[in-house]
Amino acid sequence: MDVLTKKPESKKKLKYRKKDSAFSIHIMSYRLLNNHVQFLYPRLAGLEKNLKQAMLPIPFDVYVCSMVFFSLLAAGIGGVIGVAIAIFVNIQPPVIAILLPIISTAGIGQITFFVLQFIPTINVKNRSARLIEELPHFISYMATLATNGLSLEKIFKAIAKENTNEEMVKDCKFITRNIEILGMDLLSAINDLLKRTPRGPYAEMLEGAIITVQTGGDLKQYFLATSRVQLEEKKMSLKKSTESLGVMAEMYTILLIVFPLMAIIMLSIMAIMSPDLAGYDLITLMNMLSYILVPFFGVLLLFMMDTMVPKR
């Protein structure tokens, strides 16, 4: 009866369970490898800074042990694949078949290590881009709160109550946690966040807020002035994006309309005089142009336009 009446676990609980299981793998790798990989810690000093700025909830030494653990695991899988290929595929000369498992083991292991080392750097760049994108919107909200007489601490706490996934909301929750749970004062909590923030307009805004509080300045005027500057920069950024999209529209016309038409006309005229060009059949070249080059350029232009268009 208890089994029949038992309620299924919510998605939130399942999500936390997956996170706990993933984190347990990191802990296991730390316990297994910490004493053996300590020589790597001084050589990966830049990785520790990237982990902090990416706000990844994992200590530096644990992440390094995880990198080595997953690299060894990937190397083992690569070795098995190399042995299987060497056995079941007739590779000539035989020396390559003998060296293939060694090459696949070392290659896949090193690739896994460098990819895991590069992931925090990518997260830092993505976090910096999101902060720059969110700053003009949140700085106006902070100016409104300051106009209503809220102190800087209460402004951060008010933003922390927002139920969204924006980076600035997460940072405000981080500051609130430092104050209410770790017992830090406001300036120490903000300085702790600054150590975990990529350099840019957002870090400059936090530094300016600290100076304003320390000197007894007017938060309202500071946020209003910063808001105007950020909005102007946002307008300039949107103007540049619009100009870039205009260039992309011209490239679209040339690469996907003019060039294919001109190429097909030229190849059709050349087919009257000769059935091939440099040893290639002209019909084959026209098919490659229509079904390979044109779709490739179309996907490439879509990708480039997606990177240019602001996400909010």
Question: Closest Cα to residue 63, out of 106, 120, 108?
Answer: 120
| pLDDT beyond 90 at 111 | yes
183 & 228 share domain: yes
Residue position matching structure tokens 């294919």: 260
What would the pLDDT profile of 255-295 be if each residue is shown by its tens digit? Answer: 888 888 888 888 888 777 777 766 677 788 888 888 888 88
140 vs 147: CA distance, rounded Å: 10
Same domain as 139, residue 109: no
Domain membership of residue 3 (yes or no) is no
Residue 2 in any domain: the answer is no
Residues listed for the chain: 312
Tens-place pLDDT, residues 183-203: 899 899 999 999 889 888 889
Helical segments of 181-216, H only: 186-194, 201-214
Flag whether 4 is in a domain: no
| Cβ atoms within 10 Å of 104's Cβ, excluding its own | 21
Tell me: do 222 and 241 sit in the same domain.
Answer: no
Question: Same domain, yes or no, for 43 and 99?
Answer: yes
Whether a cis peptide bond, with omega within 30° of 0, leads into 101 is no
- Per the model's pLDDT, the better-predicted residue between 26 and 51 turns out to be 51
Q: Could you tell me if 192 and 300 lie in one domain?
A: no
Domain that holds residue 257: 237-308
Which of 232, 252, 267 terminates a domain? The answer is 232
- The token pair at 48 is 């520790």
Domain end, chosen from 107, 127, 147, is at: 127
Domain count, the chain: 3
Q: Are residues 136 and 123 in the same domain?
A: no
| Domain presence at residue 1 | no
| 3 pLDDT more than 50 | no
Last residue of a domain, one of 111, 127, 143: 127
Same domain, 44 and 137: no
pLDDT at 11 over 70: no
Domain match, 217 and 302 both: no
Residues 115 and 179 in one domain: no
Task: Looking at the chain, list the stretches that DSSP marks H as alpha helix, in order from N- to C-terminal side.
Answer: 2-5, 11-33, 45-53, 60-88, 94-147, 152-160, 167-180, 186-194, 201-214, 219-253, 259-273, 282-288, 294-308
Same domain as 15, residue 123 = yes
Query: What is the distance between the alpha carbons of residues 136 and 140, in angstroms, rounded to a whole number?
Result: 7
Q: Copy the structure tokens of residue 268.
A: 């059709």
Say yes or no: 208 and 275 in one domain: no
Examine the domain organization and report whether 166 and 219 are in the same domain.
yes
